[in-house]
Amino acid sequence: MSLLVTGGTKGIGLAIATRLATPGRKAFLNFHSDAAAAERAAEELAAAGSEPVLVREDVSTPGGCRRLLDTVAEQTDRLDQLVHCAVDPLSGPSLDLDPDRFAAAVSTNGSALLYLTQAASPLLTRGSTVFYLTSRGSRAALPHYAAVGAPKALGESLVRYLALELAPRGVRVNAVLAGPLPTDAFRAVFAEGADDRLRELNAANPSGRGLELKDVAETVAFLASPEAAMIQGQVITVDGGNSLR
């Protein structure tokens, strides 16, 4: 039993890894640059009894995704869950974005779902689940969010195509669209106004409170369960109703 979470050492990724990891189970946590946060995450999971394995790799390229999965394959012959949560929080007006940086962000935030799933395919067996974390910016044009939102739309489309191809093998692919959360990525994209924006959104939430990391993690856990066996190729929104307004 094992799982892999890209961007798994902080924020939503860590919350999901913590929820899915169980005693004796390998939890591969991919990260890009923050080694200190990765070590803290590994200590947290180890304290809960799971077997964290830190893998530092850049998933913005097909080669990086293959190297990541090669490392995973050296230690397990099956992935029960593959969760793509890594994000490149490139921010700015669309017309001002450097084209090369934008291309890298598109790869990390969207195309990498395909690269990761291709590389993981030999490890995915009946009952395995693949998850993609997306956001409202995939459907609405938010200020300074094109480098995240546009690739997220691509990722959601890939979820549907991958689901059709993997369903006959008993492998499910779904996306979880998470509402605003106090993550490093949210603060990087919305900069100085991030905390004010988050407070306003939380105050306006029809459910009477702001979204929490555990809300997203619990949704992923349900979708990974046998009870969700017939949920395939879908985008499940978790935001307490914020997007209804």
161 among known catalytic residues: no
Pairing between strand 172-178 and 129-134? parallel
C-alpha closest to that of 201 among 185, 178, 184, 220: 178
C-alpha closest to that of 183 among 159, 221, 148: 148
C-alpha closest to that of 145 among 155, 130, 135, 156: 135
Task: For residue 206, give both structure tokens.
Answer: 């029809």
For residues 108 and 60, the answer to whether their CB atoms sit within 8 Å is yes
Task: For residue 42, give both structure tokens.
Answer: 């590994």
- Name the active-site residue from 26, 132, 145, 214: 145
Q: At what angle do helices 62-73 and 112-120 cross, to 10 degrees?
A: 30
152 among known catalytic residues: yes
C-alpha closest to that of 111 among 86, 128, 129, 90: 86
Task: For residue 73, give both structure tokens.
Answer: 């394959």
Question: What type of residue is 130?
Answer: V
From edge to edge, which strands make up the β-sheet containing 51-56? 51-56, 26-31, 2-6, 81-84, 129-134, 172-178, 235-238
- Name the active-site residue from 10, 26, 152, 214: 152
List residues with catalytic annotation.
145, 152
